[in-house]
Structure 1
Amino acid sequence: MAEYPFRVRWGDTDAAGIVFYPNFYKWMDESTHEFLSAIGYPTSTLYAEQQVNVPLLEASCQFKSPLFFEDRVTVRSTVVELHQKVFKINHKFFKDEKLVAEGFEIRAWTSFKEKPKAYPIPCEVRGKMMQANPKAVKG
């Protein structure tokens, strides 16, 4: 599991001071990149050295309680499904240990050396993803 702490900024809110919902998707994206960095595979390095990235295939988020300007939030991200070329990562948003939202992303391990094409996730990466969550479903 990787944790991504942040503070809600004024620009993240609407006129009522409540976080505008697309920001949760932005934070899930940021959390995925934090997760990959935490297991030793920062996406900037992956792309610079191997022309590999993890484009988004699907995302969903359920909102349980609103967030407001200056709230301190922690997103906890865990890979829950690991397939040959694709992984599913869950994101849980906490404010003061209270679950305020949860969502997921499905991403593909993709080479951009030529035309974008999904490739098998390397064994060493799979191992680190599984180490982060031994209960992840392997497909």
Structure 2
Amino acid sequence: MMNEQMYYDLPMTVTWGDCDAAGISYYAKNFDWFTDARFQFLEHYGFPYMEAFHNQGIYLVCLKAESDYQKMLKPLEKIIVKTSLVSLTRTRMTFSYKLIKENGEVAGEGLTRHAIVSPEGRPFNLQKKFPILWEKLVGCFGEGEI
């Protein structure tokens, strides 16, 4: 069972480079923000991605990515990307995201689902292949879904 939902708030400022010609954040940028926030989330809880996963031959390959647009964001707006791990199994991890404006309005929400694979792209059971990392992850986040 997953522990009570743990989250990380990544403060960001929308840049001109994040926006389209109309000066509104380009929807695909949400996925870049989600990636940055996911890496910071993992590092915050003691699992820096490159050290804990990638350099050990553990790749988190995105199987599904979705983003729901709710409010427009403009250059120089300050936002928070609130990130949570909502599912952890021996072969998958799922993260949820909220883009929150300074006034508390939710500008967007999203989700990414990742398979745990080898450098060759083969899925594997993290508990069997990396039991120490698995125990640390489960100790921090719990197992299953929230």
Instruction: Settle same-fold status: TM greater than 0.5.
Output: yes
Cα separation, 2, equivalents of 1:73 and 1:53 = 29
- The one-letter code matched in structure 1 to 2:112 is E
How many residues end up aligned between the 2 structures?
Answer: 131
Cα separation, 2, equivalents of 1:31 and 1:68 = 19
Provide the residue aligned with 1:12 in structure 2: 18
Provide the residue aligned with 2:45 in structure 1: 39
Q: CA RMSD in A?
A: 1.7
How far is the alpha carbon of 1:126 from its aligned partner? 2.6
Question: Aligned residues: percent identity?
Answer: 23
Which structure 2 residues correspond to residues 57-76 of structure 1 after superposition, within 5 A?
57-76=63-82
Conserved in 2, the CA contact under 8 Å of 1:12 and 1:23?
yes
> TM-score, with normalisation over the residues of structure 2?
0.82
1:22 aligns with 2:28: yes
Provide the residue aligned with 1:79 in structure 2: 85
> TM-score, with normalisation over the residues of structure 1?
0.86
How far is the alpha carbon of 1:129 from its aligned partner? 2.7
Provide the residue aligned with 2:138 in structure 1: 126
Conserved in 2, the CA contact under 8 Å of 1:4 and 1:31?
yes
How far is the alpha carbon of 1:103 from its aligned partner? 0.5
The correspondence for 2:99, drawn from 78, 93, 113, is 93
**Helix, strand or coil for the counterpart of 1:41?**
coil
1:39-83 deviation per Cα after TM superposition (whole angstroms, max 9, x unaligned): 1111121322x1222121101010110000001010111111222
Consecutive unaligned residues in structure 1, runs of 5 or more: none
Conserved in 2, the CA contact under 8 Å of 1:43 and 1:53?
no
Conserved in 2, the CA contact under 8 Å of 1:39 and 1:129?
no
**Helix, strand or coil for the counterpart of 2:25?**
coil
The 1:83/1:117 distance shift into structure 2, 3 A limit, reads same
**Helix, strand or coil for the counterpart of 2:31?**
helix
